[in-house]
Structure 1
Amino acid sequence: MKKALLILVGIVAVLMATAIIIPIAFKGPLMEKVKKTINQNLNATVEFDNLSLSLFKSFPKVQAEITGLTVTGKDCFANDTLVSIGSLATNLSLSDLFKSDDLKISSLQVSGSRIFLLSTTDGQVNWDIALPDDAAQSPEEETGDALTISLQEIIIRDMSLTYKDDETTTLLKLLNTNIDATGQVEGTVTKFNLDGEVGEFILEYDSVQYIANTVLKAKSELTADYDKMSFVFGESTLFLNALPLDVSGRFEMPSDSMYFDILFKQPQSNFETLLAMVPEDYQNYLKDVKTTGEAGFEGQIKGWYYEEDYPGIQTRMFIKNATLQYAGSPEKVEQISLETSISKPQGGFDLLVVDVSNAHAQIRENPVDMSLHLTHPMTDPYFDATFSGKIDFTRLADVIPMDSMELRGLLDGKLAIKGKMSAIEKQDFTNISSNGAFNFRNFYILTPQITRPVEISSGNVAISNTEINLSQLAAKTGQSDFQLNGKLSNYLPYFFLNKTLKGEFNLKSNYVNFDELASLMAETDSATTTSSDSLIAFQVPGNLDLVFRSQINRASFDRMDIRNIDGLILVKDQALQLKKLNMDMLQGQLTVDGAYKNNKTNKPEFDFNLAINSFQIPAAYQSFSMMQRYMPIAAHSQGNISSQLKFKGQMDEKLNIIASSLSGNGFLNTQNLQILDSPTFDQIRNFIKKEKLKNVKIDDFTSNFRLENGNLLVDPFNTKIADQEVTVQGKVLVDRTLDLNMDFKVNKDDLNADINKTLGFLPGSENIQLLDISVVVSGELTQPKVSLDLSKARKQIEEEVKKSTKEQLDKSVKKIGNELKKLFN
């Protein structure tokens, strides 16, 4: 028993040692075979992180796994990775490892692969990496140390393929692809059972996505003849989202070309089955839908693909006498019909023809009809499209669930457009036919994105080759009403070529509540904000050139009552411009010229000229943040101001002015200015009579100023404060500190009683009528410090005293005593 146990342990030890030693021993030779096969057949740079062998993962076979595999092109594609694979594994027979001749690959497991196929504008492709026949090693030249491939099993997980054609501006993506294929080898022929799914199929042309959010599934019997490179479909089903298509036919790759002869057809000709083509993201809109009618989708791809020569395409989708009705809905869409074909003979894609005819749907007595004919899409697209119909959105809401959106109203109109793209590019509108007219009546729109409904009582639109004319558009939202008429020009180049859309409009209104309009867009979170907080920076589109002549009888903004708004509003060069925009407000008038333009940092730039005429100071202080920043004393003031201000700077994302960015210049003029109970003037009562400073009157003045990096610099100006002559100058800095000098010439009679008494003792004081006293205001703008500078006054008094005789001085010296100390201490 003991001896048998030792033998068993020995056998296990040998097997374990073999399982460890074999992968190590054969890793080197296998890597040589892999590299040799690659180098003999590919004109590309192939690299991988590691090649490992394991007897444990697929015992009794050996699993060989390459990780971090990349295939990179050469020459002009040297920087393009054609293929990257996270893991590429196969199972090898243990006996094959001991052979010196061919190593057969019969299975592949691929995971995490990314394939990028690129065709350039000059016709070069990055996947043409196979060496020419004369460069590749022929079987006769092979030494016997190579790989042969005879696949019977393929497992692909998480593969994404991207095809980009720069010349045709086509982009094709197959994302999140999984494929399982098992087969049986009969000579050079393998019969596969194929089961695959593409998580998302995307087709984009000229930066426009025509197919997205589409799932592809396939189940197929595929016979592959590797010798002839021929692939034949047996019983096969392809799913577009949930739409099944029976697929049959074959494709071949005899050399550097491909031949297709593939048929596909919807197995059940009914409308309900066709609706399965709707992308999964929108399938929830089709829940509880009842349908009737016949419908189908079918097609064929037949012909050769070589360079710019593509096979013929013939597809057809049709709907006949169908209906659609949601469960519980009182209305239904009926008489639904459609005939669509996309076809092309053998050749380039410019031969493609798209025909949509007999497109019709109806809700009660409201029909809609459409058609489209499109040819030569690649070189010079020719289009012929029509629309006519009457849509009652009130009834439509009874047919199609609108979720939380309310939509009512009537649209009645028609449009026909026909011509070539080249005529649009040349703006040769004589060869473009475009005409139509639309009428809007009693529209009511309320969505979760807006806080109050928008109502359009009436509107007419007329369309010609060159213009879209809008007339009689009457709209309302909240308390605001609008009447708009005008025209749009250059609209065809705008829609087809992304050129500039031009327009001129007249905007009239009896009342506009700008606070309501500023908060028209609903908040995205539950936080509540004031109307001013809801303002955010916005981008002005770059391909618009619009002019609005505005006449608004009355408006309100931030508690301000504004009347008689008249002027031009321009949208041009990615900027919002105001031209001579006049308005009556704050018991005065305002004229605005300027521009607003946002940038990549979302810090809009502005450049404005303001002409203010006779604003009431208290109301202006409450309304303008700049006045609150630079003139807080206005909070204690009455009277009127006028100003001419030219300034520019930046705003933040909430449209608050960034003070440090301000620069400009202007002047300020006052009328009937009076300072009421100002703490600043309270501090100079020790030299002017108190009754003069209770409500300080300031004579009208004009002050010139500059803005430099947010600092307000005030040039010297003269006025009278409390009937005293004064020269004022100084600055208010961007950090809200100030340095202000007020040089008074105080009337001797207005000095307070203590100073007058002291002066009366001095000889020569009768010659002083005006006393020079300077007041310095500094420190924080909201809590300034006031100090007196009496150096000039002291010098005045000294000069007059020096003129006195010794006898006059002796008589006065006993009287002045401590009084001089009070004055100059």
Structure 2
Amino acid sequence: MKKVILTVSVIIILLLAAIIIVPIAFKGPLLQKVKTTINNQVNAKVEFEDFNLSLWRSFPSVLIELEGLTVVGTGDFAQDTLVSMQSLATDISLSDLFKGEDFTIQSLRLKEAQVNLLASQTGQVNWDIVKASDQVETVEESGEGMAISLQDIEVRDLSLIYKDEASAMVVALMHANLDASGRMEGTITHFDLDAEVGEFKFEYDSTEYLSNTVLKVKSQLMADYDKMNFEFGESTLHLNELPLDLSGRFEMPSDSMYFDLKFKQPQSDFTTLLAMVPQSYQSYLEDIKTTGEAGFEGMVKGWYYEDDMPEIDLRLLVKNASLNYAGSPEKIEQISMDGHISKPQGDFDLLTVNVSKAHAQIRENPIDARLTITTPMSDPQFDAYFNGKIDFTRLAEIIPMDSMELKGVMDGNLAVKGRMSAIEKEDYQKISSSGAVNFKDFSIKTPQINQTVEISSGSLKVDNTAITLSSLNAKTGQSDFQLKGKLSNYLQYFLMDKTLKGDFTLSSNYLNFNELANLMAEDTVTTTAVTDSVIAFQVPANLDLAFNSNIKRATFDKMDIQNIVGSIVVKDRMLVLKQLNMDMLQGKMTVDGSYKSNDANQPFFDFNMNISAIKIPAAYQSFGLMQQYIPIAARSQGDISTQIKFNGQLNEKLEIITSSLDGDGLFNTQNLQIVDSPTFDQIKNFIKKEKLKNVKVDDFTAHFSLNKGNVEMKPFKTKIADQDVDIHGNLSVTKVLDLKMDFKVNRDDLSGDIDNALGFLPGSKNITLIPITVNIAGDLTQPKVSLDLSQAKKEIQEEVKKSTKKELDKSVEKIGNQLKKLFN
């Protein structure tokens, strides 16, 4: 017994020692073997952060794990990461480890892997990294290497993205998980396979044709690693929630692949087919009732090598189906469709898409459509047709539209046929396009708009070159408008993202711009990060549209505007106003200029305005610039006219950035009167008080310039309170005023104290005008007023000098006292 216990103890100690010593002893040789093997086989830069070797986690096998693995291309793909993953692990037997010769890979575990496959414009691919046979160096003469005999596979969060730059095609399998456990029968392994792709995407020419699609596979898979043959036994594929029976096989004999796969919807009813709808829309199908037949099946068969791809045949069939929601009085019936996607062995340009016999009906309103697409890669040829009548009022009773409200009838047809090359060359004779659409009593209301948009009637026609809108009568809130005109270049716009051109006439009896400016509802879902975020109005790109307007009456802010006539052009992300004339504030205004969006969310503007004889109080309330630069207008009456050309930038709230303003202009006044001004009240010491109650200002014209928001007022002459005055000065961008008013005050209008003081002076009868300078400086809202009487003092002194000695001797004492009183 003692010998048994001793023997067992020795074995346990040796095993524990082996578990501790073996990883340390063999980590270096294995690390070198892994690196040598990989670099011997590929033209790429392979790196990994760490290499782990453990007997604990996979005993009695040895765990080999690469952490932080990356594979980066070389040459044209030197900056592209082909593979990155958090962990790649496998197990090898202890016997292989001690022999130090061939290793057999029996398991594979991948964690958080990203595979990026890229085909360039020239046809080169970044995954072609396996060295040619004449490039591969022999590791050792004994022929050491690694063999594959997988029986256990585990994949967690694998994302594979394929991009073809030449065809603008993207295929993505995102967040995939896979579990496969197998059993060996000779050289063949039988797997129980369970896999799920969280999201399958297919994009072509910047358009997503498939997204939010979930793929699931459960299968019994047979793998022959010697021949690299794989065959599906009893298997089920789920496309979203649509179950499909899967059968067939695929082979990888060398650098090519062979497919022979088939799948088919097991039940031929319409309800089963609707399970293909993406999960995010499945809630719409909860209370639906359906009838009719439907089926979905397909096959992939042939070789895949470089640009040579296997045959594809997919078929979607719907026959005499109907659907309606529980409790709904209406239903969609006579639903049918035959959709076929096919391609023989060869390149992707041989693909054909054919949708025929697409039909549905709501009561007596039928809808028919068809679509054919061929040669999608080289020069897409298309043939599409739509004809039908949609009563949106009844449709809303059949299909829930959440908070959207749709009413009215759209009746029309549209057909288009041709090749993309003809559109690119603007060879419209090779494009066949025709159609007409009519709207009647149509209305739409969504959470994104605050007012229902109503179209009482509308009619448009389509041909090869243009969409002609013969009439559109619409209303939203208090505003009405009538629109007619033509859109050209529409095929290039919709199919090639080119510029859409148009010329329209806009008429209206009344537009409420206050309502229209707030037509788009505020987003009720906000976060702390974006609560204060405001996006200035962005003019859409790829538009070249002209609107010739004739608006009888409009309201903007508190202004009532009439007879708006002119042109508005939308072009190059810019709004251009051309000779836009209007009657407002009992005067007239003409505007030329532009507003241009930019990515910085600070639009540029450049305007030339001519305003004639508008009322000053109303102008002050209406124009922000007047409030900023001429606050005294708040206490003014009369008319003002101005011509100004200025440019600058707006912030995201469409407020003028004052420091950006540049320009020049002039303004003139008619019947100007300043009422109860605190500023003018401060000069009552030298002008009679009764003249400063309501200060009358003679008509004048003043020129000014703007430089980075600073205003320079050029000298001009006028009369204030019947006194001649020269005015000039400037206003800084920080609203600091420096204004000089050089008065020539009539002797009769001087204040009583000053007039009495002058009466004691010899020769005072010769003094009829007194020069007095008023300095107004400081903060624009509360400027300080000071008097400069230096010039008046000089003139009085000159008059006194002209007096006789007798007159001077007689009045000398009184003269001194009065001069002190006058100037102090």
TM-score (norm 2): 0.97
The alpha-carbon distance between structure 1 residues 439 and 697, as it changes in their structure 2 partners (threshold 3 A), is same
Q: Are 1:235 and 2:225 matched, yes or no?
A: no
Q: Are 1:23 and 2:23 matched, yes or no?
A: yes
Q: Which amino acid aligns with 2:776?
A: V
Aligned residue number for residue 167 of structure 1: 166
Q: Are 1:226 and 2:225 matched, yes or no?
A: yes
List aligned pairs for 1:61-140, cutoff 5 A: 61-136=61-136
Q: How far apart are residue 41 of structure 1 and its match?
A: 1.9
Rounded Cα–Cα distance in structure 1 between residues aligned with 2:731 and 2:657: 16
List aligned pairs for 1:394-405, cutoff 5 A: 394-405=393-404
Rounded Cα–Cα distance in structure 2 between residues aligned with 1:743 and 1:31: 94
Q: How far apart are residue 629 of structure 1 and its match?
A: 0.3
Q: How far apart are residue 534 of structure 1 and its match?
A: 12
Rounded Cα–Cα distance in structure 2 between residues aligned with 1:2 and 1:261: 65
Aligned residue number for residue 505 of structure 2: 506
Q: How far apart are residue 624 of structure 1 and its match?
A: 0.4
Aligned residue number for residue 49 of structure 2: 49
Say if 1:519 and 1:534, in contact at 8 Å, map to a contact too. Answer: no
Say if 1:34 and 1:147, in contact at 8 Å, map to a contact too. Answer: no
Aligned residue number for residue 767 of structure 2: 768
Aligned residue number for residue 311 of structure 2: 312
Q: Which amino acid aligns with 2:372?
A: H
Rounded Cα–Cα distance in structure 2 between residues aligned with 1:5 and 1:734: 98
Q: Which amino acid aligns with 2:27?
A: K
Deviates more, 1:216-225 or 1:353-362: 216-225
The alpha-carbon distance between structure 1 residues 311 and 15, as it changes in their structure 2 partners (threshold 3 A), is closer
Secondary structure of the 1:680 match is helix
Q: Which amino acid aligns with 1:813?
A: V
Q: Are 1:566 and 2:565 matched, yes or no?
A: yes
Say if 1:535 and 1:655, in contact at 8 Å, map to a contact too. Answer: no
The alpha-carbon distance between structure 1 residues 11 and 810, as it changes in their structure 2 partners (threshold 3 A), is farther
What is the Cα-based RMSD across aligned positions, in Å?
2.0
Aligned residue number for residue 810 of structure 1: 809
Secondary structure of the 1:272 match is helix
Aligned residue number for residue 599 of structure 2: 600
Say if 2:535 and 2:601, in contact at 8 Å, map to a contact too. Answer: no
Secondary structure of the 1:657 match is coil
Rounded Cα–Cα distance in structure 2 between residues aligned with 1:73 and 1:711: 58
Rounded Cα–Cα distance in structure 2 between residues aligned with 1:9 and 1:674: 115
Aligned residue number for residue 283 of structure 1: 282
Aligned residue number for residue 723 of structure 1: 722
Rounded Cα–Cα distance in structure 2 between residues aligned with 1:297 and 1:3: 72
Q: How far apart are residue 7 of structure 1 and its match?
A: 10
Deviations 1:498-543 (A, max 9, x none): 221111111111111000011111111389xxxxx99951221221
Q: Which amino acid aligns with 1:32?
A: Q
Rounded Cα–Cα distance in structure 1 between residues aligned with 2:659 and 2:386: 56
Deviations 1:216-270 (A, max 9, x none): 1111222222222222221121111111111111222222222221111111111
Deviates more, 1:363-372 or 1:802-811: 802-811
Q: Are 1:792 and 2:791 matched, yes or no?
A: yes
Deviations 1:465-523 (A, max 9, x none): 11111122111011000111111111112212222111111111111100001111111
Say if 1:518 and 1:534, in contact at 8 Å, map to a contact too. Answer: no
Aligned residue number for residue 419 of structure 2: 420
List aligned pairs for 1:244-643, cutoff 5 A: 244-525=243-524, 537-643=536-642
Aligned residue number for residue 207 of structure 2: 208
Rounded Cα–Cα distance in structure 2 between residues aligned with 1:34 and 1:752: 106
Aligned length: 819
TM-score (norm 1): 0.96
Rounded Cα–Cα distance in structure 2 between residues aligned with 1:104 and 1:717: 99
Secondary structure of the 2:231 match is strand
Say if 1:761 and 1:815, in contact at 8 Å, map to a contact too. Answer: yes
Q: Which amino acid aligns with 2:559?
A: M
Q: For structure 2, which runs of at least 5 residues remain unmatched after alignment?
A: 527-531
Q: How far apart are residue 167 of structure 1 and its match?
A: 1.7
Q: Which amino acid aligns with 1:58?
A: S
Q: Which amino acid aligns with 1:673?
A: L
Secondary structure of the 1:396 match is helix
Q: Which amino acid aligns with 2:98?
A: F
List aligned pairs for 1:674-713, cutoff 5 A: 674-713=673-712
Secondary structure of the 2:390 match is strand
Aligned residue number for residue 529 of structure 2: none
Secondary structure of the 2:653 match is coil
List aligned pairs for 1:187-198, cutoff 5 A: 187-198=186-197
Q: Are 1:40 and 2:49 matched, yes or no?
A: no
The alpha-carbon distance between structure 1 residues 206 and 623, as it changes in their structure 2 partners (threshold 3 A), is same
Q: How far apart are residue 95 of structure 1 and its match?
A: 3.5
Q: Which amino acid aligns with 2:365?
A: N
Say if 2:745 and 2:769, in contact at 8 Å, map to a contact too. Answer: yes
Say if 1:696 and 1:721, in contact at 8 Å, map to a contact too. Answer: yes
Q: Which amino acid aligns with 2:742?
A: D
Q: How far apart are residue 189 of structure 1 and its match?
A: 2.5
Q: Are 1:663 and 2:672 matched, yes or no?
A: no
Say if 1:259 and 1:302, in contact at 8 Å, map to a contact too. Answer: yes
Say if 2:613 and 2:640, in contact at 8 Å, map to a contact too. Answer: yes
Deviations 1:623-649 (A, max 9, x none): 000000000000000000000000000
Say if 2:148 and 2:225, in contact at 8 Å, map to a contact too. Answer: no
Seq. identity, %:
65
Say if 1:480 and 1:511, in contact at 8 Å, map to a contact too. Answer: yes
Deviations 1:786-824 (A, max 9, x none): 000011111111111122222211111222343322211
Say if 1:512 and 1:556, in contact at 8 Å, map to a contact too. Answer: yes
Rounded Cα–Cα distance in structure 1 between residues aligned with 2:507 and 2:689: 54
Q: Which amino acid aligns with 1:546?
A: L
Say if 1:607 and 1:648, in contact at 8 Å, map to a contact too. Answer: yes
Q: Which amino acid aligns with 1:152?
A: Q
Say if 1:55 and 1:61, in contact at 8 Å, map to a contact too. Answer: yes
The alpha-carbon distance between structure 1 residues 807 and 24, as it changes in their structure 2 partners (threshold 3 A), is same
Deviations 1:177-225 (A, max 9, x none): 1011112233433222211110000111111111100001111222222
Q: Which amino acid aligns with 2:425?
A: K
Rounded Cα–Cα distance in structure 2 between residues aligned with 1:382 and 1:115: 33
Deviations 1:268-323 (A, max 9, x none): 11111111111111111111111111001111111222222211111110100001
Secondary structure of the 2:791 match is helix
Q: Which amino acid aligns with 1:481?
A: D
Q: Which amino acid aligns with 1:110?
A: L
Q: Which amino acid aligns with 1:437?
A: A
Rounded Cα–Cα distance in structure 2 between residues aligned with 1:649 and 1:39: 61
Secondary structure of the 1:106 match is strand
Rounded Cα–Cα distance in structure 2 between residues aligned with 1:136 and 1:149: 19
Deviates more, 1:258-267 or 1:33-42: 33-42
Q: How far apart are residue 417 of structure 1 and its match?
A: 1.1
Q: Which amino acid aligns with 1:261?
A: D
